[in-house]
Structure 1
């Protein structure tokens, strides 16, 4: 097995944590970056993986991401895989969204993605992979609020605009767009058992997705088998988005 250098931004919890732990378990060198230092430190300690290296970063801050890229270069030299999993949302109705909520959502979900690719792309080796953890909300416009859907939709456009430029260096870039994945974010949006049961009925496959489902998609897209997949959005939703009503 070829050991890969992997950076997961937003990797201390939820989907990002699962991806980081799974790659580390497989023996890869995994840099896990997150804004929550306490959660990050605890995650690394609990994992027992010596190849899981913590880095504190504020993805919404230009200088912080630039510094992270410099530290990664010093520690690993180069990257094989960049995964951007940082994301926030707050369930607020359109007319109730204030500037702070809109701005913070865009800063983390979209601006941080741009900063991360901009500063990390120079240390991605030829043949590397960039995987963006997006959301089915960008397709449906539902779930998480208009600010969340708009930020994730922006990620789709950013990804597509980079296809030609990154392709020149044989770097493939794709979005994995989960919908209804078991996570803290899902719990905040659907806090009651009744709301969860109602949601499950809308999913043809009959269950919520798991962080493990997302990992398998990321693993494929960043592997040799997935290298010809470039500039695509992989929707993970159990069939919910395009189900037919009988």
Structure 2
């Protein structure tokens, strides 16, 4: 198996963390960028791998991501896969929404995605991949608040535009759109065991998703076998979204 240089933005916790640990376990060189130094340090300990490189960066900052790209270039020269997993949410209604919550969510979930691709895309080798961790909420309009669904919908549109403009550069770009994945973010939206049990009843496959489910999809889309998959949104939800029409 060819060893790759992988960059994960927002990879010190949640889904991004699981992806980082899987790639590191396979002995790939994995640069994990995150704003939380404590979580980065813990990730390095958990990985036990010399192939995992922690880098502090603020996904919501143009300057921080530009500096991150310079660090990655010095460390790797080129990379094979960019994974954008940074994301935040807050359970809040439309009428309770204030500018601060809206702006911060957009800054991390959408602006940071643009910054990351803007600065890191030139480092991706021919035949490489970009995988964006989106959300099924952008399809349904539910879960995470209006600011979250809007930001994730923006990620869908950005991906489609990039495919049109950059699609002939032999770098495939796709979105993995999870719903109801066991994570810190799910705990925010469904804080009790009872709420999770009710949620599980609405999933035809009969269980919540796991970060490993998302990881396997990401690995496929960035593999040689997944190279012809381009410009797609892969919904991972156990059948929940289209339950009423099954």
TM-score bracket, normalised by the shorter chain, equals over 0.9
Conserved 8 A contact 2:25-2:47: no
The 1:245/1:176 distance shift into structure 2, 3 A limit, reads closer
Corresponding position of 2:134 = 134
What secondary structure, in the 3-state scheme, does the structure 2 residue paired with 1:96 have? Answer: coil
In structure 2, the gaps of 5 or more residues are none
Cα distance, 1:194 vs structure 2: 1.0
Conserved 8 A contact 1:166-1:172: no
Cα distance, 1:85 vs structure 2: 0.1
The CA RMSD measured in Å over matched residues stands at 1.0
Corresponding position of 2:222 = 222
What secondary structure, in the 3-state scheme, does the structure 2 residue paired with 1:130 have? Answer: strand
What secondary structure, in the 3-state scheme, does the structure 2 residue paired with 1:41 have? Answer: helix
Conserved 8 A contact 1:177-1:234: yes
Which range moves more in the overlay, 166-175 or 153-162? 166-175
Cα distance, 1:220 vs structure 2: 0.4
**Within-5 A mapping of 1:10-89:** 10-89=10-89
CA deviations over 1:156-208 (Å, ceiling 9, x no partner): 00000000332221000000000000001101110111111110000000000
Cα distance, 1:96 vs structure 2: 0.2
Partners of 1:47 and 1:26 lie apart in 2 by 11
Partners of 2:95 and 2:165 lie apart in 1 by 38
Conserved 8 A contact 1:84-1:131: yes
TM-score norm. by structure 2 comes to 0.98
Which range moves more in the overlay, 36-45 or 58-67? 36-45
Corresponding position of 1:203 = 203
CA deviations over 1:221-240 (Å, ceiling 9, x no partner): 00011000000000000000
> For this pair of structures, how many residues does the alignment match?
246
What secondary structure, in the 3-state scheme, does the structure 2 residue paired with 1:75 have? Answer: helix
**Within-5 A mapping of 1:148-167:** 148-167=148-167
In structure 1, the gaps of 5 or more residues are none
TM-score norm. by structure 1 comes to 0.98
Cα distance, 1:245 vs structure 2: 7.4
What secondary structure, in the 3-state scheme, does the structure 2 residue paired with 1:147 have? Answer: helix
Corresponding position of 1:108 = 108
